[in-house]
């Protein structure tokens, strides 16, 4: 049985400037209000409200039986979530920072992801693992990783990442309502920019991609923070006469082939953009998948514009590591556009 999800805001409800942090906070509050089986916990998510304040005020409002601070033990956080889910709860846990999730990797991969298959469908796992991820905030070591390739390589997990406040609200509500485990990646650099928004809001279904800018010459495939970068590249490219289409993948696993194929077959060229390193990165899967399904429509190889194949750099070097609009356009210039 899935939890109830809010209907869209009534017509006439005034929109206000809303950040992704505030939208996520509202989504958690609404889920806690509507479903007593929802619980929220993790390191510092209680009275402090989380290091990014996503859980601000929730412990005071719902009490420490519904929202509480966990020990500094990520494997224990996910392990207890698995146990609670087996007994009918809907835990939403926070990993605080991306690289902090690695101690929980074994619990996620060996148990959370496999429980439904292991029990022949008898036991569902309605667990959401929230992970603030990627760079752009000047984090030190272990505070700015892009771990999406690890999670998306694991069958049994749904892996999603919003790029806007509206998607953050809608997708988190849908993730909490899911009977299967969801890795919910929150791009840290997008926590604070605001969008005019009337909550509650429902956007496209969680496991679908969305065309956020239409174009005819090339398709940029981006997600999380890189959607903004891709849109910047599209604007710059437009000044040079290049008509760029941008797709926000939103759901990294499952992958929305239909939306991507339709765009690629229209433009005949594609590039995927992500902050994680290139080698065996998520973009490799996207490039292979797009090529396999659209080979005879492509005019050029699918490109990847990514972070470099290094450990995530120190804050002073971060700007050189992250993909930029200029790097995207430089990559597109490597194609033979006369082909």
Characterize the bridge pairing of strands 218-222 and 251-253: unpaired
In a 10 Å sphere around its CB, with 0-12 CB exposed, 13-18 middle and 19+ buried, how is residue 247 labelled? Answer: buried
- HSE toward the beta carbon, residue 263, CA cutoff 13 A: 29
Through-space distance between the first and last CA atoms of the chain, rounded to whole angstroms: 53
- 251: tokens are 């759901």
Could you give the residue numbers annotated as active site? Answer: 143
* Those residues with Cβ within 8 angstroms of residue 316's Cβ, 6 or more apart along the chain or in another chain: none
- 5: tokens are 């999800």
Q: Which one, of 104, 95, 205, 114, lies nearest residue 157 by Cα?
A: 114
| Whole-number Å distance between alpha carbons of 201 and 62 | 22
166 contacts 195 by C-beta, under 8 angstroms: yes
Q: Is 251 helix (H, G, I), strand (E, B) or coil?
A: strand
Q: Which one, of 132, 137, 77, lies nearest residue 105 by Cα?
A: 77
Strand partners, 251: 160
| Whole-number Å distance between alpha carbons of 170 and 295 | 34
| Whole-number Å distance between alpha carbons of 68 and 42 | 7
152 contacts 159 by C-beta, under 8 angstroms: yes
Q: Which one, of 74, 61, 1, lies nearest residue 25 by Cα?
A: 61
């Amino acid at each position: 049985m899935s939890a109830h999800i809010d209907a869209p805001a009534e017509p006439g409800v005034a929109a206000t400037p809303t950040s992704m942090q505030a939208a996520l906070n509202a989504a958690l509050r609404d889920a806690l209000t509507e479903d007593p089986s929802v619980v929220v916990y993790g390191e510092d998510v209680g009275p402090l409200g989380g290091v990014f304040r996503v859980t601000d005020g929730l412990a005071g409002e719902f009490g420490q039986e519904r929202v509480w601070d966990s020990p500094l033990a990520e494997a224990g956080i996910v392990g207890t979530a698995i146990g609670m889910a087996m007994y009918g709860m809907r835990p939403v846990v926070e990993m605080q920072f991306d690289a902090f999730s690695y101690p929980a990797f074994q619990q996620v991969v060996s148990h959370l992801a496999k429980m439904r298959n292991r029990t022949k469908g008898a036991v569902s796992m309605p667990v959401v693992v929230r992970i603030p991820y990627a760079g752009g905030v000047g984090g030190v070591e272990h505070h700015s990783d892009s771990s999406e390739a690890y999670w998306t390589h694991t069958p049994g997990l749904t892996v999603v990442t919003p790029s806007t406040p509206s998607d953050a609200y809608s997708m988190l509500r849908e993730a909490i309502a899911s009977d299967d485990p969801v890795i919910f990646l929150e791009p840290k650099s997008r926590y604070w920019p605001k969008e005019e928004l009337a909550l509650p809001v429902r956007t496209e279904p969680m496991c679908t991609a969305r065309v956020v800018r239409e174009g005819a010459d090339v398709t940029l495939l981006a997600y999380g923070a890189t959607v903004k970068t891709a849109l910047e590249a599209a604007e710059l490219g437009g000044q040079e006469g290049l008509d760029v289409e941008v797709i926000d993948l939103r759901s990294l696993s499952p992958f929305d082939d239909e939306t991507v194929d339709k765009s690629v077959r229209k433009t005949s060229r594609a590039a995927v953009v992500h902050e994680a390193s290139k080698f065996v990165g998520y973009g490799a899967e996207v490039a292979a998948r797009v090529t396999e399904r659209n080979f005879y429509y492509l005019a050029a190889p699918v490109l990847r514009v990514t972070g470099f194949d290094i450990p995530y750099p120190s804050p002073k070097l971060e700007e050189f590591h992250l993909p930029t609009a200029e790097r995207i356009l430089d990559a597109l210039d490597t194609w033979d556009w006369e082909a």
